[in-house]
């Protein structure tokens, strides 16, 4: 009986076994490069353009880039253009009004985690008077 009690007390003083808890790491973040609005000539017509492309990112995870342009103060919604995968998205705004201020915005989306989940990152706004 004394021996059983001694073993029981010895077992009670042992540290409890710890269980490792897996903590999910935050998904890798991707960066995207958005250009400010700029004027280009397209077949003799002046247009404003902006592009967005993936920057620092696991390229195989990128699935969508969206570039948008809007003339500041315009009641019209932005014009947007998307591109799948790692290709840049480029948007054109016409007609170009010299001296007007234009705003470029965008977003890039990548799949992260296991199972993959979409994570979209907004970029901008960038403004330019052109």
Domains of the chain are: 26-129 (2.60.40)
Burial class (CB in 10 A: 0-12, 13-18, 19+), 6: exposed
Distance of CA 17 to the CA centre of its chain: 42
pLDDT of 5 higher than 50: no
Question: Please, which pLDDT band fits residue 32 given cuts at 50, 70 and 90?
Answer: very high
- Residue 122, C-beta contacts closer than 8 angstroms, at least 6 positions apart: 105, 106, 107
pLDDT of 59 higher than 70: no
- Residue 116, C-beta contacts closer than 8 angstroms, at least 6 positions apart: 61
Neighbours of 15 (CB within 10 A): 5
Quick check: pTM over 0.85? no
Higher pLDDT among residues 103 and 61, named by residue:
103
Question: Please, which pLDDT band fits residue 128 given cuts at 50, 70 and 90?
Answer: very high
- Using DSSP's 3-state secondary structure scheme, residue 44 falls into coil
């Amino acid at each position: 009986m004394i021996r059983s009690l001694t073993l029981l007390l010895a077992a009670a003083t042992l540290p409890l076994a710890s269980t490792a808890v897996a903590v999910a790491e935050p998904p890798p973040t991707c960066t995207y490069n958005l250009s400010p609005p700029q004027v280009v000539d397209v077949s003799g017509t002046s247009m404003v353009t902006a592009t967005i492309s993936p920057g620092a990112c696991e390229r195989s995870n990128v699935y969508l880039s969206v570039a948008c342009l809007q003339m500041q103060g315009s009641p019209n919604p932005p014009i947007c253009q998307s591109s799948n995968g790692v290709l840049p998205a480029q948007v054109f705004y016409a007609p170009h009004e010299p001296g007007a201020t234009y705003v470029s915005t965008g977003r890039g989306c990548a799949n992260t985690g296991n199972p993959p989940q979409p994570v979209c990152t907004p970029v901008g706004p960038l403004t330019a008077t052109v």
